Amino acid sequence: MAARLIDGRAAAQEVRARVAQEVERFRAATGRAPGLATVLVGEDPASAVYVRSKGKATREAGMESVSHNLSADIGEAELLALVDQLNRDPAIDGILVQLPLPGHIDSAKVIAAIDPAKDVDGFHPINAGKLAIGAADALVPCTPFGCLYLLKQELGSLSGLDAVVIGRSNIVGKPMAMLLLGESCTVTIAHSRTKDLPAVVRRADIVVAAVGRPEMVKGDWLKSSATVIDVGINRVDAGEGKTRLVGDVAFDDAQKVAGAITPVPGGVGPMTIAMLLRNTLVAAHRREGLAEPA
């Protein structure tokens, strides 16, 4: 039997609609809308597309969107000065510095300069630490937060399930593993040095693939009825000068074995922006001392 498709577009729409309602309530209580500032350095086309769609989604949710587009040769000090200005701006609740930054800028330093209370990407060491110790007020990185949303929607309680996260980046793999641990899964983090990855994956009730290698995870690596979350976004040659997007999981074969699976596109991707809006809403409530929306 073919796996159920986990519809990230529909789930993201639900989250965004709820955020929009809560924005109205926030506006009624405070007389202002939550504000998200995006900072883009340089002209990387993919980053520019991401930042534009984040701005559009922010406005669609009824929030204020402020975008700072800086030239690629801006100095680190100037960028840090902008972050400082945004930290102090009362109308700004969330700050998103689009990564990657050009090589002459120390990304870690820039991320560490963001006020943790406005760090809606959840990359600041304070938020990473809070997530690791299970603090309720961590701002959680948007992509893994979106994956968790889909998993809970699909499975309900995750307690006691075996989860394998493939990838250990700070923006996806590690926070994903922390979130799953927080849900009482038994978590394995696999990476490029993992021995016998197929055998590791075969144990898993939940597989989260965040590798960046097209269709690396094969159908016969999966336990029957596993729930598969494919974070990968890989552009591959589709012949005749065209390209197409594929995930890190060999979808057609995996679908024959898995219980449920996210497609690429239309799975995890849309959730990332939805959770960014949610984080901005939550940050705004905290800054105003209001009870957090459910």
In 3D space, the residue among 176, 207, 178, 143 whose CA is nearest the CA of residue 12 turns out to be 143
Minimal distance, residue 50 CB to ligand NDP, in Å: 9
Indicate the length of the chain as a whole number. 294
Q: How far is the CB of 246 from ligand NDP (least distance, A)?
A: 10
How many other CB atoms are found less than 10 A from the CB of residue 156? 8
Helix (H) or strand (E) holding 14: helix 8-30
Q: Which amino acid does the sequence have at 47?
A: S
Residue 117 vs 201, nearer CB to ligand NDP = 201
Q: Is 133 marked as binding a ligand? A: no
230 is catalytic: no
In whole angstroms, give the CA distance from residue 226 to residue 223.
Answer: 6
Task: Classify the C-alpha dihedral 99-104-107-113 as positive or negative.
Answer: negative
| Residue 169, marked binder | yes
Closest distance between ligand NDP and the C-beta of residue 250, in Å? 14
Shortest distance, position 156 Cβ to ligand NDP, whole Å: 23
- Active-site residue identified among 93, 98, 115, 119: 98
233 assigned binding-site residue:
yes
- Among residues 54, 118, 130, 174, the one annotated as catalytic is 54
* Helix 45-60, helix 268-287: angle, nearest 10: 60
121 noted as active-site residue: yes
CA–CA gap between residue 180 and residue 208 (Å, rounded): 10
168 is in an annotated binding site: yes
Q: Which residues bind ligand NDP (CB under 6 A)?
A: 143, 166-169, 171-173, 190-194, 197, 210-213, 231-234, 268-269, 272
Is 98 a known active-site residue?
yes
Residue from 121, 205, 230, 248 carrying the catalytic annotation: 121
Numbered residues of the known binding site: 167-169, 233
Numbered residues of the known binding site for NADP(+): 167-169, 233
Active site residues: 54, 98, 121
